[in-house]
Structure 1
Amino acid sequence: MKNKFALSFATLAIAAFPATASAEAGDLQVKLLGTLVSPDGEITRVDTDIVGLPADTQTKANDNFVPTLAIEYYFSDNFSVETICCMTQHDVDAVSGLPGAELVSNAKVIPATFTAKYHFDLGAVRPYVGAGPTYFLWVGEDPGAATLPLGVTDTDLSDEFGVALQAGFDVDLNDKGLGLTFDAKRYFVDTTAQWYVGDTLAIQTKHKLDPWVLSAGVSYRF
């Protein structure tokens, strides 16, 4: 009786999980994700200020939700390299000193990122950790509404290298390569912001961006 019960229990347990095919060297995985980008934007240093900003001026970049595409190549069953493709847009507002003042508008950034990932094989669920370099490329930023009355004509954010740490897990839905994926990245990257009045540099500040990037979506491995 005990043997029959154990066999029945094992059968039910196996049936509860889909048939899966483990990742192998040479596999390519494509992920379509919904992604929350939540940057900091804190001022860490003021280098130039000819307009007299309040001493306690502090800033914050707004969150944004964007679609992203990730492409991952497996060099072995447990080791892969992944890159992502997306563009995200943010405003930078003052949260103290000039609370609510928009300082940067419609800043668009491409976070070019490559991460090396190690996967733990737990069957249908495969957790992973990763890390790698990133390069934040700003392709458009406008003076914020609050800076226009000061005569600001141009705003620039510097492109910068940084580092990304990553953790998440993939869930196989069948043995054909279809799955779900959940991913969290923490970036460590800064930028220098400059506001110009004509050809004159009026304000220059250093900002800590350090965004959290949280994603979930579907994957297909082939």
Structure 2
Amino acid sequence: MNKFAYLAATAAALAFTGTAHAGNADGKVQVKLLGTGVLVDGKVTQVKGDAARLVATGAVTNTDINDNVVPTVAIEYFFTPNVSVETICCVTGHHVTVSSGTLSGVVAIDNVQIIPATFTAKYHLPLGAIKPYLGVGPTLFLMINDRPSTAVRGLGVTRTKLSSELGVAVQAGADVAIGNGYSLSLDAKKYWVNTDATFYTATGTALQTRHRLNPWVLSAGIAYRF
């Protein structure tokens, strides 16, 4: 079992057994189990180096990153009834595809995995059973396991690297109480974060581009507060 699956299973056990903790709508801790859509706005914003002349010759002029749906665990601590801090745990996998140029449609980077380490400070509006909230905070996108596609290896690329980067996230959502500490949860986050994509050959750097990611992250699921 991988680390994410272990965390998800642990959170589920904590949230749904109820034998060790009684649910409490005003408790200090809330755990959420969510289904999350990651909708990436992936575009090249700057060419930092083009030794292979892939951009100069029109082979690559822009890229796209596919959307994904993943499970997510969120853990939240309430300092007051209206003020909390939240962190999320998920891993989302993507491919980077050339979207324009003579190589349009070719997958350039296979299976990059992103860990969006995010902390948000949240303010909850006291409106009874329906508790809307707003939040903002920093994020660190950790990029792991990226590798050049078979097609790009055929061009002489031996290795790729997407840089891990700091950014910011804002969020809005609502928890709708359904009793015994449980709530239905809807959440939307907008991220602003970039990354550098570097393609290496045996002799050096072939191409380096700056990419805008800026995903929408939309979640829905169940929460348990105690």
Q: What TM-score does the superposition give when structure 1 sets the normalisation length? A: 0.87
- How far the C-alpha of 1:139 sits from its partner, in A, is 1.7
Of 176, 180, 193, the match for 1:189:
193
- How far the C-alpha of 1:199 sits from its partner, in A, is 4.2
Structural RMSD (CA): 1.5
Write the deviation string for residues 128-162 of structure 1: whole angstroms up to 9, x where unpaired: 00000000111210102331111101000001000
Larger Rg: 1
- In 2, Cα distance between the equivalents of 1:67 and 1:22? 24
- How far the C-alpha of 1:22 sits from its partner, in A, is 4.8
Please say which of residues 181-190 and 146-155 is displaced more in the overlay.
Answer: 146-155
- In 1, Cα distance between the equivalents of 2:148 and 2:60? 21
- In 2, Cα distance between the equivalents of 1:56 and 1:125? 49
1:154 aligns with 2:134: no
- Secondary structure of 2:146's counterpart equals strand
- In 1, Cα distance between the equivalents of 2:115 and 2:145? 10
Q: What TM-score does the superposition give when structure 2 sets the normalisation length? A: 0.85
Partner of 1:11: none
Residue-pair matches, total: 200
- Secondary structure of 2:157's counterpart equals coil
Partner of 1:10: none
Percent identity (aligned): 54
Counterpart of 1:83, as a letter, is T
Partner of 2:38: 37
Aligned 8 A contact 2:25 2:225 in 1: no
Partner of 1:198: 202
- In 2, Cα distance between the equivalents of 1:116 and 1:172? 21
1:103 aligns with 2:108: yes
- In 2, Cα distance between the equivalents of 1:117 and 1:55? 45
Aligned 8 A contact 1:101 1:145 in 2: no
- Secondary structure of 2:150's counterpart equals coil
- Secondary structure of 1:153's counterpart equals strand
Write the deviation string for residues 50-86 of structure 1: whole angstroms up to 9, x where unpaired: 2222177111100010000000000001000000001
Q: Please, which runs of 5 or more residues in structure 2 have no aligned partner?
A: 1-22
Off by >4 Å, runs of 4+ in structure 1: none
Partner of 2:18: none
Counterpart of 1:23, as a letter, is D
- How far the C-alpha of 1:198 sits from its partner, in A, is 1.5
Q: Please, which runs of 5 or more residues in structure 1 have no aligned partner?
A: 1-19
